[in-house]
Amino acid sequence: MSLSRCLLGIGLLSLSFAALGDGTLTVNGKTVKLDHAYATTRPDPFDKKKTVTLVLFADRELPANVLKDDFAVMDAHSSTKFNGVSAEIDADKQVISGQVYSSALKDMDNFSSTGRQKAELTARTASRIAGRLYLPEPDDFFKNTYVYDIHFDVPIVTAAQMAANMPKPKGTALPERGGDPWYGYQAYRKAVQSGDMKALKTMVTAEQAKQIDDPDFKKFFPLMQQMQPKNVKFLNGTVDGDNATLNVSAKDGKESSTGTIEMIRDGGKWKVKHESWQSKSE
């Protein structure tokens, strides 16, 4: 089970930042056409003064904010089950990380693929990246064989552009201290931090509760606990019937972050539907 299964998918947005791609991905003999492409920039994980370009190629249209952060990519995969390939390309035109997503994989639905793929860029500006991403020959990962070859010319979308085109939240403003949805999220965080699986199952959606019963969940749970933001504070939010959105902040040393938490009321109790975070170092 991948960590992405711990999070519930988000709905598709009407606005798309996709460009048409031209590529194929073959996994275990099954070939799909990758005809949707996305790109954005983010800080280089090895040198915060530099940036890398993240490109994502898929066999279908994805949410407009799919590259907002790693959680958004995982959520999109969980909700759409897309087949695709992603890669981070640094200032030296080297691929420093990558991922393969495929429904044809055995015993998994995605894995990290870094090392043998090549990027040949024909253009890279502040607003566009073009070239070819490919594996020179088929590779294997455990019981799976795969190969891909993609030609692309994609506009680079900034985080600000994605944020500006997010739909305005529906509903009315939550009270200053967050009200019941905020209290529900605090209870969820307490259950995660204490490792109380029984309580945690009552604080998430029915689909997520089933995933907690998966034996592999216990393997990923310590990582989930480590990833929990610290010193979380409620900023503002809205409630619309049985759905609520919490906008929050967190701070851990010199690293601060902001988060968006989607809550749903089920059986009179507010439960966590989805959460996403963006962090930055001071």
pLDDT of residue 237: 92
Mean of the pLDDT values across residues 258-269?
92
User: Is pLDDT above 50 for 4?
Assistant: no
**Residue 5 pLDDT greater than 60, yes or no:** no
**Given this model, what pLDDT does residue 20 score?**
65
- Identify the residue with better confidence: 13 or 242: 242
Q: If you average pLDDT over residues 41-51, what whole number do you get?
A: 86
pLDDT at 188: 96
Query: Looking at the predicted structure, is the pLDDT value of residue 44 above 60?
Result: yes
Higher pLDDT, 165 or 281: 165
pLDDT tier at 159 (50, 70, 90 boundaries)?
Answer: confident
What mean pLDDT is predicted for residues 173-198? 95
* Predicted local confidence at residue 124, as pLDDT: 93
What pLDDT is stored for residue 242 in this prediction?
A: 96
Q: What is the pTM of this model?
A: 0.62
pLDDT for residue 85: 96
Q: Best-predicted range by mean pLDDT among 166-175, 248-257, 259-268?
A: 259-268
- The mean pLDDT of 22-32, rounded to a whole number, is 96
- Domain 172-281: which CATH class? alpha beta
The pLDDT score that the predictor gives to residue 15 is 35
Q: Which pair of tokens denotes residue 97?
A: 């990380």
Determine phi and psi for 277, rounding to 5 degrees.
-135, 150
Task: Tell me the average pLDDT of the chain.
Answer: 86
Q: Tokens 């907690």: give the residue.
A: 212
72-123 confidence digits (pLDDT tens):
787 788 889 999 999 999 999 999 999 999 999 998 999 988 888 999 999 9
- Residue ranges of the domains in the chain? 3-164, 172-281
Between 12 and 255, the more confident residue is: 255
Amino acid 19: pLDDT: 64
CA–CA dist 6, 208 (Å, integer): 7
